[in-house]
Chain A
Amino acid sequence: MNIFNNAALLIGVPLLFAFSIPLFGLISKELAKWVTLLTIGFNASFSFYILFAHKYPTMVVMGNWLPPFGENLYIGPVAAFLVFVISMIGLLIAIYNLWAIKKGDVIRFSVLFLMFTAGASGIVLTGDIFNLFIFMEITGISSYALAAFGPERRALGGAFKFLVVSSIGSTLYLMGVTLIYTQLGTLNIAEIAARINQTTPGLLTFAGILIISGLAVEAELFPFNGWVPDTYTGAINGVSASLSGIAAISAVYALFRIAMTVFGKSGGAYVSTYGKIDLMALIALLATATVIIGELSALSQKNVKKMLAYSSMAQMGLIAVGFSIGNKLGVYGGIFQLVNHSIAKSMLFLIVGVLVAVGVGENIDDFKGLWKRNPFLTLTFSIGAFSMLGFPLFGGFWSKFSIVAASVQRGGWYDFIIGLVLFASVVEAFYYLRIVAYMFASDVELPKVKTPITPAIPIFILAVSIVAIGIFPQIVGTFSAQAAGELTHKMSGYILHVIPSIAAH
């Protein structure tokens, strides 16, 4: 156990600057946006340092009270990698926002955006099950407000729906946490995880179902994902990008930290959970339903943003399926798919944002003949689409491949996942390639449109990283293999790093 207290800056600095942005805003609105950019830039470079100087696994201990007595942040392979991805995508979206957010309350938008990234990093870093709830609410409340931002009135309906569903979800989560607390008398994730078999199985199952349904709201799993299409369509594109790129990562992390580390049995090749029913199998069922419903709904959409929203839902289902296979390869594929999805989906939303702003529009018919009007956005959109549907030499191929390989390894009824992934790919191919075909093949004569420089930078970087991951999958692969090791071996991967003296059960 080594202690690296400076890592608390990953949460502290964004929160500090979030609340001091109104002061910078007194000077100029542009300055507020640049402060946001620089703060997330600090987070990105600091997490880059932690990841590549191999500072992890490490811990932040508040006031020198060692866990389980004090609150702690734990930075293992999972947290180090995911915080890096969150802050990099946040940085790129902040660059896009420099150009996109001109009208409206720029200063409060910046405050909310910083709190959003701080909360998402907090979810990934924290080692305390109640602090997880608090960071969920920080992320949640700022994302409701972000989703309501913008000139269009449809944003309000989506944001309200999101608020209602998500706050019911977090209440359920809180109830589950309280039930576990009554059994074990602790809120530290590592100690709960080590002593979880001392609880009453019936109560534990009830608590587990409450917690899983609470977390499934943000992780967009069926039947808790009714908010997704309205919220993603209504919100301005920068916000949709950050919901699918940043909030999705933290939500999936929270779901599987609870399901695998807290409830999971240690030992054994495949993670299963304590209690009367196996929560991992429950998640697998929910995720399967999510994939099928999401893909089929995406098929019939005429609006590209709505299509991307349903596709995002389906992809989250696919990620959860990958995790819920429960062996190392499956978790590897899940994390890989998570990173690919956040990169590609946030890029697609940013591209739609640019296209709407330059006057092309967001319906599928507006994309006809885009290749002649603007080659750059056409190419990057196609790269994102190819990565989504798992075309070889693009990022998505490797993750879908490892999910299929993991389900073959597991065997039994998990074999149907092969069919599920293929089904998802075929349907995705249908609706993404339809747009790609429209863009390249139609000969509609319309005036050319110019790409603004500022939003082109993040789109270009994201597109290059998709291709780079496709050609050199070990860029993400090394880290997600380490992360899979942490999640599948709860004793040696997590608990013993946080509380070395704890007795194995």
Chain B
Amino acid sequence: MQALQIFLQNWIYLIGAMAIFGIGLYITLTNENIFKIIVGLDIIESGTNLFMTAIAWHPKAVMPIYTATNQLVVNGKVVSADPLPQSLVLTAIVIGLGTTALALTIAVKIFEKYGTLDVRKIKEAKR
């Protein structure tokens, strides 16, 4: 019972994040529709961001802000969550937004020029 609890508390987020990553990768690699590929890319990014936030956290962590009641260090041990990966995630989210926006722009252009979003049909319609 306790083993399950530890598992749920410590590992579920990491494994869930990896699972989301895998789902996104599967969608990106198997779909023929450009829009669905972009959705897959977004899911991959969410998986990575979740992974990074989960790594910085543990079940008994307190918030990483020093106040009179919120002690970051107890008995010489750091008990706060790690704030640095969270700031990395912020950057990664912004970059992901830029990539998605550009991908959607290219998808719109592809639809204008080819009249389809299907990768196979685009390949057949050479030049």
A residues contacting B by CB (< 8 A) are 130, 134, 137, 141, 144-145, 148, 152-154, 156-157, 159-160, 163-164, 167-168, 171, 174-175, 178-179, 181-182, 187
Alpha-carbon distance between A181 and B53 when the two chains are bound, in angstroms: 12
Q: Kindly identify which residue among A144, A152, A160, A178 contacts B107, using a CB–CB cutoff of 8 Å.
A: A160
Q: Closest residue to A177 on the B side, CB-wise?
A: B88
B79 contacts the other chain (CB 8 A): no
Interface contact B44-A171, CB-CB below 8 Å: yes
Partner of A156, one of B95, B98, B110: B110
Taken together as a complex, chains A and B put the C-alpha atoms of A181 and B89 apart, in Å, by 13
Whether the Cβ atoms of A153 and B48 lie closer than 8 Å is no
Instruction: Please measure, in the bound complex, the distance between the C-alpha atom of A163 and the C-alpha atom of B110, giving whole angstroms.
Output: 14
Given A171-B48, A174-B48, A130–B88 Cβ distance below 8 Å? yes
B114 at interface by CB-CB < 8 Å: yes
What is the CA–CA distance of A226 and B113 in the complex, to the nearest angstrom?
A: 23
Is there an interface contact between B41 and A164, defined as CB atoms closer than 8 Å?
Answer: yes
Number of B interface residues at 8 Å Cβ cutoff, please give it. 32
Q: How far is the CB of A35 from chain B (nearest CB, A)?
A: 23
Residues from 7 to 52 in B contacting A, C-beta threshold 8 Å: 21, 25, 28, 34, 37, 41, 44-45, 48, 51-52
CA distance A445 to B74 in the complex (A): 88
In the assembled complex, B71 has its CB within 8 A of some CB on chain A: no
Does B63 reach chain A (CB closer than 8 Å)?
Answer: no
State the majority secondary structure of interface residues on B: helix
Known contacts A157-B122, A164-B37, A168-B28: A145-B102 contact under CB 8 Å:
yes
CB–CB A160/B85 < 8 A: no
The reply to whether A174 and B92 contact each other, CB–CB distance below 8 Å, is: yes
> What residues of chain B have their CB less than 8 Å away from a CB belonging to chain A?
21, 25, 28, 34, 37, 41, 44-45, 48, 51-52, 55, 84-85, 88, 91-92, 95, 98-99, 102-103, 106-107, 109-110, 113-114, 122-123, 126-127
Chain B residues whose C-beta falls within 8 Å of the C-beta of A171 in the assembled complex: 21, 44-45, 48
Instruction: State which of A144, A163, A164, A175 has its C-beta within 8 Å of the C-beta of B48.
Output: A175
| 8 A-B interface contacts by CB (under 8 A) | A134-B91, A141-B102, A148-B106, A163-B99, A164-B41, A167-B99, A168-B25, A171-B21
Q: How far is the CA of A462 from the CA of B113 in the complex (A)?
A: 36
Check B52–A178 contact: CB distance below 8 A. yes
CB distance from A365 to the nearest CB of B (A): 17
Given contacts A134-B91, A167-B41, A171-B21, 8 further A-B contacts (CB under 8 A): A134-B95, A137-B99, A148-B109, A160-B34, A167-B99, A171-B45, A175-B48, A182-B55
Chain B residues within an 8 Å CB radius of A181: 55, 84-85
Q: Smallest distance from the beta carbon of A118 to chain B beta carbons, Å?
A: 15
Question: Could you tell me if A160 and B84 are in contact, using CB atoms closer than 8 angstroms?
Answer: no
Nearest Cβ in chain A — how far from B121, in angstroms? 11
Residues in B whose Cβ lies below 8 Å from that of A141: 95, 98-99, 102
Q: Are B51 and A153 in contact (CB under 8 A)?
A: no
> A148 CA to B88 CA in the complex, in Å?
29
A157 touching B110 by the CB < 8 A rule? Answer: yes
Contact B55 A178 (CB under 8 A): yes
Which of B45, B99, B110 neighbours the largest number of chain A CB atoms within 10 Å of its CB? Answer: B99
Q: What residue in chain A is nearest B47 (Cβ atoms)?
A: A171
| B92 x A156 contact (CB < 8 A) | no
CB of B28 within 8 A of CB of A164, answer: yes
Which residues from B are CB-within-8-Å of A174? 48, 52, 88, 92
Cα distance, A56 to B41, chains bound together (Å): 41
B103/A160 in contact, CB under 8 A: yes
Compute how far the CA of A157 lies from the CA of B88 in the bound complex, rounded to whole angstroms: 31
> Is there an interface contact between B85 and A163, defined as CB atoms closer than 8 Å?
no
A160 touches B95 (CB 8 A): no
Taking a contact as CB atoms under 8 Å apart, the answer to whether B52 and A137 are in contact is: no
- Taken together as a complex, chains A and B put the C-alpha atoms of A182 and B45 apart, in Å, by 19
Instruction: For the complex formed, measure the closest distance between the CB of B86 and the CB atoms of chain A, giving whole angstroms.
Output: 11
A160→B55 CA distance, assembly (Å): 32
| Chain A contacts for B95, CB-based, 8 A | 134, 137, 141
Instruction: Check A144–B106 contact: CB distance below 8 A.
Output: yes
Contact assessment for B25 and A153 in the assembled complex, using a CB-CB cutoff below 8 Å: no
Give Cα distance in the complex from A313 to B64, angstroms.
Answer: 47
